[in-house]
Structure formats: C-alpha cells, structure tokens
Amino acid sequence: MELFHVGFLKFTLIDLIDVLVVAYLFYRLLVLMKGTRSVQIVIGLFLLFMISFLAFWFRLEGLRWIISNIATVGIIVLVIVFQPELRSALAQIGQTRLFRLFFKYEKEKTIDELVKASIQLSQLRYGGLLVLGREVGLRNFIDTGKPLNAQVSSDLLVTIFTPYTPLHDGAAITQGDYVLAVACTLPLTNNPRYSQLFGMRHKAAIGVTEESDAISIAISEETGKISIAFKGVLYDDIDKSKLKETIVRMIKSG
C-alpha cells in the first residue's frame, strides 16, 4: 500500500511502520539513559561521528585510518559499556503486557523473597501486610501510600515493617519484581464473618482481595501467625513450610 509518491521517493505503509518502530526504540533508549552516565557517552559518540564525517568529507587520511580501526571493535565496546542499560531494557520488554499474554509467569525469586520476609516478620513478631498485585490495577491504593519502586527483597520488607519506623503502618504493594509503594491504605472488608475475629490489618488484607485479583499476606504482631487472603477469603495460620506452595497454588488458580 503506497501512502505517497514524490519523484523517485515512494513511502509505503511498511516504511511508516519501520519509521515508527525505530523512533519508539530510540525513545525507549533515551528514557533508559536519562540521568545515567550513558548520556555523556552518547554525546561523546555523537561528537566522534561528526569528526569521522568531517574526516571522510575532507579526505583526512590519518584520521580516517584511526576511525576505521576504532569502528571494527566499536560494536563490542558499545555492548560492554551499555551492558546495564541493555539488561534493563530487555528486562522491561520481558515484563510488558504483550509478552505476558503469551508467557504467564511469576518470578520465583520474587516469591521466595516475599516468603522469606513473611517468615522473618513472623519470627520477630513484627506486624506486616504485603500485597501481591497481579492483573487488576491497584493504582487507587498505591496513590494512598509513599512511592518506592524498589526491587523486592526480604531485607527491605523487614526494614519497612520494623516497629516505630515512619513507613511501618499500612500495606506494601508489590507488582512483578518491585515494591511500588508502602504505607498504603486498603479498604476494609464488610464481610460479617470477619467482623469480630480479626483486627484492622487482616480486614484490610481481605478487603483488597475483594476488589481485585491480588493476593495479600498478613502477619500478626500479637501471635506471629501468617495469614493469606485471596478472592475475599482469609486463610489463617498458614504453615511456614507451606507458605510458598500456597501462594503458587493461588497464582495458578487465577
């Protein structure tokens, strides 16, 4: 399908798609590099490109020879220099919704860290409330807390829920590999079966699962018991050795 034709230049629908894809890739690359040392490297590469252009234009043989030899190993050097950014870009591509339509997965390492944090909080008798976000967005609840956007780790979560620290009240909401926000306020369940038996933390754990497909883990500071809420149902006093198995089974059940 030809979009327009000017003299020898033909611009088709395929060309348009090509331009849009390349533009998007450059945009994502610039976003990834923003605020990193890579910006200075890109500026240096641009200056080197301009120098090489002038060298070839004015036939500066010595400079052309140097630039030609640098170019032979340039790709390898760029891969080494931009390794962190490339790794981050590939990780983000793998976590996009498009890929998740084909590859349903939950990262086992993240679940391990959440389980480890829950057990440590239980042993320390620190109250905690962890929310595992899934397909249904939790933006309304995330906005009530403090943004964090940090990699999920047991040490981080135990530190957050240490008593008397500024962020220990409320819930920590995770999505994928990241703790998106902490000190979040969740809706309380109105289910009468839970009105007398449990406190605010457990009611909030149940409430968020009534309004989303999230899984929440509540750790009691009085007893150290670990409970899991899923689809509006609270499973109390989960055996620590079966905690991961229980979470994985809930994830697979949809």
What is the three-state SS of the chain?
CEEEEECCEEEEHHHHHHHHHHHHHHHHHHHHHCCCCHHHHHHHHHHHHHHHHHHHHCCCHHHHHHHHHHHHHHHHHHHHHCHHHHHHHHHHHHCCHHHHHHCCCCCHHHHHHHHHHHHHHHHHCCCEEEEEECCCCCHHHHCCCEEEEEECCHHHHHHHCCCCCCCCCCEEEEECCEEEEEEECCCCCCCHHHCCCCCHHHHHHHHHHHCCCCEEEEECCCCCCEEEEECCEEECCCCHHHHHHHHHHHHHHC
**Distance from C-alpha of 205 to C-alpha of 240, rounded to nearest angstrom:** 18
Closest CA to 127 of 86, 73, 168: 168
pLDDT attached to residue 86: 62
Whether the per-residue pLDDT at 240 is higher than 70: the answer is yes
pLDDT attached to residue 98: 52
Domains of the chain, by residue range, sit at 2-101, 108-253
Task: Count CB-CB contacts under 10 A for residue 235.
Answer: 12
pLDDT attached to residue 161: 95
Q: Contact at 8 Å (CB) between 198 and 233?
A: no
pLDDT attached to residue 9: 59
* Predicted confidence (pLDDT) per residue in 152-187, tens digit: 999 999 999 999 888 888 999 998 889 999 999 999
Whether the per-residue pLDDT at 103 is higher than 50: the answer is no
Whether the per-residue pLDDT at 5 is higher than 60: the answer is no
**Distance from C-alpha of 77 to C-alpha of 244, rounded to nearest angstrom:** 42
Q: Contact at 8 Å (CB) between 114 and 174?
A: yes
- Match 């047991």 to its residue by tokens: 154
What is 108-253's CATH topology?
YojJ-like (1 (3.40.1700)
Q: Annotate 168-192 with b (16+ C-beta within 10 A) or e (fewer).
A: bbbbbbbbbebbbbbbbebebbeee
Cβ neighbourhood burial of 217 (10 Å; 0-12, 13-18, 19+)? buried
Average pLDDT rounded to a whole number, residues 33-45: 63
Average pLDDT rounded to a whole number, residues 196-214: 89
Whether the per-residue pLDDT at 66 is higher than 90: the answer is no
**Distance from C-alpha of 177 to C-alpha of 179, rounded to nearest angstrom:** 7
- Match 């007398």 to its residue by tokens: 196
- Range name among 34-38, 50-54, 79-83, 128-132 with the lowest pLDDT average: 34-38
Where does the pLDDT of residue 194 fall: very low under 50, low under 70, confident under 90, or very high at 90 and above?
confident
